[in-house]
């Protein structure tokens, strides 16, 4: 990640050419930077502008050519898979309106093909093998409705509903995939096998680059709505509607180990692990999110150069609306260069979930997060390693022009756990955990009303300088600052001060 508050989001093949998101308090204009292909930047607006839908070619392949009959009661897995395997690169496979049952995951292995399903419903009947697995560059899926039988929360990629997945071991980086205009929704009444839309994440992006996830609806997935992981980069998550999920509504998570992985191992292999696992250069914008019953609204748990802009995040009943953290329980990378701007956040931990999927009690305890939560946890052996203490930090964060209304606790909470120690027990190990390094944070022009805690909360002053700048933040119309604002930061907060 950049070691400044300038956030580069270069998203070449999905229509965002090297846009640079500017973080200076006073500057209104966005600077430009060279794109990876050498062209000039087109600015941040290019990152959030969707390209036109692809034009349907004169000749397409119809799934009925392969023995599939819409809306019959037959298992269509083999016939649909035969159709997908028969395509040539660049061809379209069109599904006429109707319902198509499949008992196993469907695998898209031909590059640059389009699955088009306007009016078509794919119904997965096996909770343990139900995904549309996109496994080729440029392969894309548009306009399907997808429902699925579920039994419990699961974790495997093929247990999600749509997955861009190049493989877990020696994974191939996929590029140029589009998931657009799909509806991943529940297909039955509460309590029925179709009450949830998928056994795990609704949409999974795993080791992919230059991807677009746009204009999709994800409702009642048993895990995250949209989950981006495993070194994914240069991607956009735009204009999606996510609601009533069983975990984070949109999550960016960069794993580098598990709790049994000691600090010496991570330090010795850090460059290799980071190159393989870091998610970076991702735009999350213009999404409408509401009513998840576990987890957070938008989370970055390990990631660099992430922009979170113009999202509506409502009724995050359990945790933070926006969560930027390094976690020990999942052993993730740190967080750097994140822009959180112009989001509308309402009702954080003030409500009970309207739907819980049968897996979590509606009365599950609240986390106590702020509406925007920023922190780092480290195992103590990690904290004792100078390189890891910095590399696993949460730094270079800009939180600007957000509207935060009706929060059970604090509006923005920073550096939870600094100076504290607790014990983690899990996966057969017990390790001491302490607050990690957090800093270089700008809070500017945020509007805060109806909160139960503080506008800016720092529960324990960090041992290392926090370096925080504040400008024109207001609570109930009155300017609010924190006594640590300005510590280590030039008062004028010039362009990219670090």
- Look at residues 178, 205, 224 and tell me which one is the last residue of a structural domain: 178
Quote the strand ranges of 364-426, DSSP E: 372-379, 394-400, 403-407, 412-414, 421-426
One domain, residues 449 and 302:
yes
One domain, residues 364 and 292:
yes
Residue 209 lies in a domain: no
The model's pLDDT over 29-40, given as tens digits with 9 standing for 90+, comes to 222 233 333 333
Q: What is residue 10's predicted lDDT score, i.e. its pLDDT?
A: 32
One domain, residues 301 and 325:
yes
One domain, residues 310 and 427:
yes
Q: What is residue 190's predicted lDDT score, i.e. its pLDDT?
A: 79
One domain, residues 253 and 345:
yes
Q: What is residue 144's predicted lDDT score, i.e. its pLDDT?
A: 98
One domain, residues 27 and 74:
no
Residue 123 lies in a domain: yes
Residue 200 lies in a domain: no
Q: Evaluate if residue 219 carries a pLDDT over 70.
A: yes
The model's pLDDT over 79-126, given as tens digits with 9 standing for 90+, comes to 999 999 999 999 999 999 999 999 999 999 999 999 999 999 999 999
One domain, residues 283 and 376:
yes
Q: Evaluate if residue 203 carries a pLDDT over 50.
A: yes
One domain, residues 371 and 271:
yes
Q: Evaluate if residue 286 carries a pLDDT over 50.
A: yes
Residue 380 lies in a domain: yes
- Look at residues 126, 153, 178 and tell me which one is the last residue of a structural domain: 178
Q: Evaluate if residue 59 carries a pLDDT over 90.
A: yes
The model's pLDDT over 447-477, given as tens digits with 9 standing for 90+, comes to 999 999 999 999 887 777 788 999 999 999 9
One domain, residues 11 and 142:
no
Mind spelling out the 3-state secondary structure of 91-114? Answer: CEEECCCEEEEECCCEEECCCCCE
Query: What is the DSSP annotation of 286-307?
Result: S-EEE--SSS-SEEEESEEEEE
One domain, residues 366 and 470:
yes
The residue written with tokens 């805060």 in the block is 448
One domain, residues 249 and 171:
no
Under 8 Å between Cβ of 321 and 313: yes
Q: What is residue 488's predicted lDDT score, i.e. its pLDDT?
A: 54
Task: Specify the 3-state DSSP secondary structure of 444.
Answer: strand
Percent of the chain past pLDDT 70, that is, above it, reads 88
Read off the pLDDT band of 45 (50, 70, 90).
Answer: low
Residue 187 lies in a domain: no
Residue 116 lies in a domain: yes
Q: What is residue 427's predicted lDDT score, i.e. its pLDDT?
A: 78
Angstrom distance (rounded) from CA 33 to CA 38: 9
Neighbours of 488 (CB within 10 A): 15
Output 223 or 16, whichever has higher pLDDT.
223
Q: Evaluate if residue 47 carries a pLDDT over 60.
A: yes
Name which of 228, 207, 419, 403 is nearest 322 in CA terms.
Answer: 403
Domain assignment of residue 41, given as a range: 7-50+215-479
One domain, residues 69 and 25:
no
Q: What is residue 426's predicted lDDT score, i.e. its pLDDT?
A: 80
The model's pLDDT over 335-351, given as tens digits with 9 standing for 90+, comes to 999 999 999 999 999 99
Q: Evaluate if residue 134 carries a pLDDT over 80.
A: yes
Q: Evaluate if residue 175 carries a pLDDT over 80.
A: yes
Query: What is the DSSP annotation of 225-282?
Result: SEEEESS-EEEEEES-EEES-SS-SEEEE-B---TTS-HHHHHHTHHHHHHHH--EEE
Residue 11 pairs with which residues in a beta bridge?
16
Angstrom distance (rounded) from CA 322 to CA 344: 11
**Mean pLDDT (the chain, rounded):** 87
The model's pLDDT over 378-408, given as tens digits with 9 standing for 90+, comes to 999 999 999 999 999 999 999 999 999 999 9
Q: Evaluate if residue 6 carries a pLDDT over 60.
A: no
Read off the pLDDT band of 183 (50, 70, 90).
Answer: very high
Under 8 Å between Cβ of 416 and 375: yes
Q: Evaluate if residue 142 carries a pLDDT over 90.
A: yes
The token pair at 37 is 């292909």
Residue 71 pairs with which residues in a beta bridge?
none
**Structural domains in the chain (count):** 2
Read off the pLDDT band of 489 (50, 70, 90).
Answer: low
Domain at 32, CATH number? 2.160.20
The token pair at 243 is 């609601």
Residue 165 lies in a domain: yes
What is the average per-residue pLDDT within 60-77? 93
The model's pLDDT over 298-329, given as tens digits with 9 standing for 90+, comes to 999 999 999 999 999 999 999 999 999 999 98
Residue 195 lies in a domain: no
């Amino acid at each position: 990640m950049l070691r400044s508050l300038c956030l580069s989001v270069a998203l070449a093949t999905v229509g965002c050419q090297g846009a640079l998101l500017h973080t200076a308090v006073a500057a209104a204009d966005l600077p430009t930077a060279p794109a990876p292909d050498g062209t000039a930047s087109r600015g941040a607006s290019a990152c959030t502008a969707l390209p036109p839908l692809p034009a349907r070619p004169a000749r397409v392949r119809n799934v009925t050519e392969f023995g599939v009959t819409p809306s019959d009661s037959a298992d269509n897995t083999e016939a649909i898979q035969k159709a997908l395997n028969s395509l040539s690169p660049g061809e379209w496979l069109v599904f006429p309106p109707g319902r198509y049952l499949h008992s196993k995951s469907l695998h898209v292995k031909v590059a640059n093909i389009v699955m088009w399903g306007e009016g078509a419903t794919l119904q997965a009947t096996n909770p343990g093998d139900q995904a549309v697995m996109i496994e080729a560059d440029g392969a894309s899926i548009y306009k399907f409705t997808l429902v699925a039988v579920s039994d419990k929360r699961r974790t495997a990629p093929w247990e999600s509903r749509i997955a861009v997945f190049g493989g877990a071991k020696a994974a191939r980086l996929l590029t140029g995939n589009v998931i657009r205009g799909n509806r991943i929704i529940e297909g039955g009444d509460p309590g029925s096998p179709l009450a949830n839309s998928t056994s795990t994440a609704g949409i999974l992006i795993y080791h992919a680059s230059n991807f677009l996830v746009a204009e999709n609806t994800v409702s009642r997935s048993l895990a995250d709505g949209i989950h981006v992981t495993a070194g994914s980069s240069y991607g956009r998550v735009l204009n999606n509607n996510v609601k009533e999920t069983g975990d984070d509504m949109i999550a960016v998570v960069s794993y580098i180990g598990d709790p049994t992985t000691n600090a010496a191992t991570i330090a010795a292999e850090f460059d290799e692990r980071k190159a393989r696992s870091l998610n970076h250069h991702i735009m999350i914008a213009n999404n409408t999110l509401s009513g998840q019953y576990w987890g957070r609204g938008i989370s970055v748990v390990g990631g660099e150069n992430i922009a979170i802009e113009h999202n509506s995040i409502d009724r995050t009943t359990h945790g933070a609306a926006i969560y930027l953290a390094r976690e020990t329980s999942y052993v993730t990378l740190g967080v750097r260069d994140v822009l959180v701007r112009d989001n509308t956040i309402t009702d954080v931990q003030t409500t009970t979930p309207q739907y819980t999927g049968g897996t979590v009690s509606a009365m599950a305890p609240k986390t106590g997060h702020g509406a925007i939560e920023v922190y780092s946890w480290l195992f103590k052996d990690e904290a004792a390693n100078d390189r890891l203490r910095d590399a696993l930090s949460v730094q270079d964060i800009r939180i600007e022009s957000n509207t935060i209304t009706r929060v059970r606790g604090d509006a923005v909470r920073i550096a939870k756990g600094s100076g504290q120690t607790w014990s983690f027990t899990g996966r057969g190990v017990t390790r001491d955990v302490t607050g990690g390094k957090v800093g270089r944070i700008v809070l500017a022009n945020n509007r805060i009303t109806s909160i139960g805690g503080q506008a800016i909360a720092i529960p324990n002053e960090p041992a290392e300088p926090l370096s925080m700048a504040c400008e024109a933040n207001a609570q109930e119309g009155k300017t609010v600052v924190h006594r640590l604002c300005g510590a280590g930061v030039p008062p004028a907060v010039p362009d990219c001060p670090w």
